[in-house]
């Protein structure tokens, strides 16, 4: 009986608990899922104008029906000064978020228009809005309603601070490449500091120029800074600052211009061929190129970096071609292609060796004279008029001497004169007994 009573008690307890479990599971599945970001409904500013230094409070009204607002951030942009101010937004209850924009003493004066607004909820959903101070970059941003897109405030400098009066604005300059452009700003006050800024073509932001902290800015005109804009920031000891007008730099490029082209040459072998080019333009550099013939590949000639090129004419470079590549920072140009034609100059025998009558034991002397550049000599002998010519080791001058023996009577001698363009043998000379 005790066992049966226990079983009945357990069944009754289970029946009591099951509805509770069912109710809990039902509540969990019924909980809504938050997939939607917050939606802005209004933006207000604590003031339309603020004097630097100071603050301005931004209040954003937004809705998020499920998990609630979490945080946000808002940006305002001064397009003229190319600068932005922002405030982090915190939940303030009743669908409102507030944040404070800190405006320092050096904040650029002017109108700041709403640029972007980001809102996040507690489910990590977020949305980014953009106003008239910005645009959609990724295509996912949402444009603010027209009544909010132009929201703005104005920053003014404290009128109690000492003012800065610009007496002379920098003027735009037009210079030749390589020449110096000078920009100057003059102010009435003495205790001021200067900082020059530049904006190169295509850039979005002004850049402070390192070390350029005087009233005058000197810039060398180049291809790279053609079209660059410059302006100067002047600041006094109270922190008041003012920017000068923008000055433009226009650079007239001085690309190399060939005045005199090199000319093709016909040169006797062994003589020097000289090709020259004349060009105008600043800081020119020269590089000569060559190829062995009209179908060959061009190769830069090592060390040939002047306006002229010298080469010794030879059989090897007959028909070779040349041109000069000229360049500077502004551009480059190639000269005309020229050809070297080499007239060969093989050796010619002017004085033939003569027969020699010498006593046994005496010395026989043979001599030859040849014309031509870089001629080398080699003597030969044979033991009869029909014999085979044999090279004489070491006999490499235009003269040959030999001590006569009995067996050498009747021998013949001749000389080979040779250079890069060709060769020629002398007539044979016979050794006779005296």
- Closest Cα to residue 349, out of 267, 254, 414? 414
- Residue 159 pLDDT grade (very low, low, confident, very high; cuts 50, 70, 90): low
What's the mean per-residue pLDDT of the chain?
A: 88
Adjacent-strand bridge partners of 219: 181
Peptide bond into 243 cis (omega under 30): no
Instruction: Write down the pTM of the prediction.
Output: 0.49
DSSP string, 145-180: PHHHHT-EEEEEE-TTSPP--EEE----EEEETTSE
Q: How many CB atoms lie within 10 A of CB 322?
A: 25
Strand (E) or helix (H) holding 27 = helix 2-30
How does residue 379 score in pLDDT terms, banded at 50, 70 and 90?
very high
Q: What is the DSSP letter of 16?
A: H
Count how many residues are written for the chain.
Answer: 434
Cβ-proximal residues to 340 (8 Å cutoff; 6+ apart), any chain? 264, 265, 267, 273, 311, 313, 317, 318, 319, 320, 321, 322
Domains of the chain: 39-157 (2.60.40.1930), 166-252 (2.60.40.10), 257-343 (2.60.40.10), 348-433 (2.60.40.10)
pLDDT digits (tens, 9 = 90+) for 263-294: 999 999 888 999 999 999 989 999 999 999 99
Q: Stretch 374-387: mean pLDDT, rounded?
A: 95
Average pLDDT score over residue span 411-416: 97
* pLDDT tens by residue, 102-146: 998 778 888 899 999 999 999 889 999 998 877 766 677 899 988
Q: How confident is the model at residue 19 (pLDDT cuts 50, 70, 90)?
A: very low
Q: How far is it, in rounded angstroms, from Cα 145 to Cα 131?
A: 8
pLDDT tens per residue, range 58-90: 999 999 878 889 999 999 998 877 889 999 999
pLDDT digits (tens, 9 = 90+) for 202-234: 888 899 999 999 999 999 999 999 999 999 999
């Amino acid at each position: 009986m005790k066992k049966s009573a226990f079983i009945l008690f357990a069944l009754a307890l289970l029946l009591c608990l099951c509805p509770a479990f069912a109710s809990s599971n039902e509540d969990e599945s019924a909980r809504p899922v938050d997939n939607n970001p917050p939606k802005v409904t209004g933006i207000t500013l604590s003031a339309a104008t603020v004097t630097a230094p100071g603050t301005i409070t931004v209040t954003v009204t937004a809705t998020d029906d499920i998990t609630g607002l979490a945080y946000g951030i808002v940006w305002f942009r001064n397009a003229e000064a190319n600068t932005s101010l922002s405030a982090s937004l915190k939940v303030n209850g009743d669908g409102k978020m507030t944040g404070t924009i800190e405006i320092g003493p050096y904040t650029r004066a002017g109108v700041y228009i709403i640029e972007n607004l980001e809102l996040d909820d507690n489910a990590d959903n977020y949305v980014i809005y953009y106003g008239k101070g910005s645009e959609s970059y990724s295509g996912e941003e949402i444009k603010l309603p027209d009544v909010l897109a132009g929201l703005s405030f104005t920053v003014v400098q404290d009128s109690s601070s000492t003012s800065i009066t610009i007496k002379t604005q920098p003027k735009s300059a037009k210079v030749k490449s390589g020449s110096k452009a000078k920009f100057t700003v003059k102010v009435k006050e003495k205790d001021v500091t200067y900082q020059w800024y530049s904006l190169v073509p295509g850039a979005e932001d002004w850049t402070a120029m390192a070390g350029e902290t005087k009233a005058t800015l000197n810039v060398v005109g180049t291809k790279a800074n053609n079209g660059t804009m410059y302006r100067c920031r002047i600041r006094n000891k109270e922190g008041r600052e003012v920017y000068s007008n923008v000055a433009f730099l226009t650079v007239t490029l001085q690309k190399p211009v060939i005045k005199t082209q090199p000319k093709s040459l016909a040169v006797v072998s062994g003589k020097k061929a000289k090709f020259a080019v004349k060009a105008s333009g600043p800081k020119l550099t020269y590089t000569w190129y060559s190829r062995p013939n009209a179908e060959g590949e061009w190769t830069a000639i090592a060390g040939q970096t002047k306006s002229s090129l010298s080469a010794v004419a030879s059989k090897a470079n007959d028909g070779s071609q040349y041109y000069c590549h000229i360049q500077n920072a502004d551009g480059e140009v190639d000269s005309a292609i020229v050809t070297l034609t080499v007239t060969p100059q093989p050796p010619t025998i002017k004085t033939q060796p003569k027969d020699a009558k010498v006593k046994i034991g005496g010395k026989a002397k043979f001599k030859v004279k040849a014309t031509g550049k870089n001629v080398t000599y080699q003597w030969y002998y044979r033991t009869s008029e029909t014999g085979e010519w044999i090279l004489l080791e070491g006999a490499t001058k235009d003269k040959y001497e030999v001590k006569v023996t009995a067996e050498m009577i009747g021998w013949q001698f001749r000389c080979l004169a040779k250079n890069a363009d060709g060769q020629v043998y002398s007539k044979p000379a016979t050794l006779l007994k005296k």
